[in-house]
Amino acid sequence: MMYAFRRFVHSVLLLFGVSVLSFLVSSLAPGDYYTEMQSDPRVSRETLAALRTENGLDRPLPVRYAIWLESVARGEFGYSLAYHGPVGPLLAQRIPGTLLLTATATALAWILALPLGIWSAARRGAWPDLALKVIASVLLATPELLMMIALLAWAVQTGCLPAGGMHSPGNASTSDLIRHLILPVSVLTLGLLPVLIRHVRTAITETINAPFALAARAHGIPPRRLLYRHLLPAALNPLISLFGFSLGTLLSASLLVEVIAGWPGLGPLFLEAIFARDYALVIGVVMISTAFLIAGNLIADLLLYRADPRIRMT
């Protein structure tokens, strides 16, 4: 319990630090939501000054941060000038879409990476291992943006899959949702898969030549049983640690993929907020994304604590 409590406190402090840094960076950014109105001759400087005063943009940064913390406690996460309302409900509408996309791609990537990485480690140096390395290198060098554009172009030309969005007009069925998920999930999975395969292969390879593995072979344990019953559990530590990192990597990539695919998640909302200089909404998306990343790392730490008795002894 103490380990979980320490990790939780560390996560809360990290989230607090990110919020402070986000406010500092937003204050250094040029302009605000009302900057573009300065070029409109129908809007006077007095009107813009009054609007900034009304929304608290002229207050010192510590005061604005304290007001924002109060709004976080109420679940509002600040006030969106572009949408004329609290940020919290806007985030609540988009979070399920991003979670669905990210969770599906993460699960699929790990389901594929584990057997492929183990298979590659068991045949290291052979032509199947070399072929998998080449494929992984090509996928690793291909940007998710390029893959998403190529798949969307293919979907438009063939009509096999819907080219964007979460649902077809007038169709909210589960099967329609799955068809819309295929393209963005495929891009995110292919983008993450090479990294996971390499780490799984490396972890298994390091345990193959360990003394306990040599002793198990000497006792006549079959190779398949040795691989899955003994080597894989011994290689879990670095793979569990990789889980939190993979979640953060996938989350950052999903924001861009959502924009290209027209997926109603946090990505399009984040882009609109940046263009509008709606810094309260920008900070809200940053904080939610950071919370997802921290939660993933926290879960990975707790799983590592459960799997490795050496950590429980510290």
Place of tokens 């953060």: 248
Domain count of the fold of the chain:
1
- Compute the Cα dihedral for 287, 180, 273, 72 and give only its sign: negative
Share of the chain above pLDDT 90, in %: 10
Q: Is the pLDDT of residue 26 over 80?
A: yes
In one letter, which amino acid is 149? I
Q: How far apart are CA 180 and CA 100, in angstroms?
A: 12
Q: Compare 278 and 169 and report the one with higher pLDDT.
A: 278
User: Model-level pTM?
Assistant: 0.84
Q: pLDDT tens across 108-163, in order?
A: 998 998 888 888 887 777 888 888 888 888 888 888 888 888 888 888 888 888 87
Domain of 170: which CATH number?
1.10.3720.10
According to DSSP, residue 79 is labeled E
Residue 260 token pair: 């290209």
Could you tell me if residue 274 is inside a domain? no
Q: Is the pLDDT of residue 314 over 60?
A: no
Could you tell me if residue 45 is inside a domain? no
Please report the pLDDT score of residue 275 as a whole number: 87
- φ, ψ at 79 (rounded to 5°): -120, 125
Q: Is the pLDDT of residue 79 over 70?
A: yes
Could you tell me if residue 301 is inside a domain? no
Q: Is the pLDDT of residue 273 over 60?
A: yes
Could you tell me if residue 38 is inside a domain? no
Instruction: State which residues form the domain around 145.
Output: 97-265
Helix, strand, or coil (residue 80): strand
Q: pLDDT tens across 51-66, in order?
A: 888 888 888 888 889 9
Could you tell me if residue 6 is inside a domain? no
Q: In 3-29, which positions are buried (b, 16+ CB within 10 angstroms) versus exposed (e)?
A: eeeebeeebeebeeebbeebbeebeee
Could you tell me if residue 149 is inside a domain? yes
Q: Do residues 251 and 289 touch, judged by C-beta distance below 8 A?
A: yes
Q: How confident is the model at residue 208 (pLDDT cuts 50, 70, 90)?
A: confident
Q: How far apart are CA 21 and CA 268, in angstroms?
A: 23
Please report the pLDDT score of residue 250 as a whole number: 75
Q: Is the pLDDT of residue 227 over 90?
A: no
Please report the pLDDT score of residue 28 as a whole number: 81
Could you tell me if residue 43 is inside a domain? no
Could you tell me if residue 25 is inside a domain? no
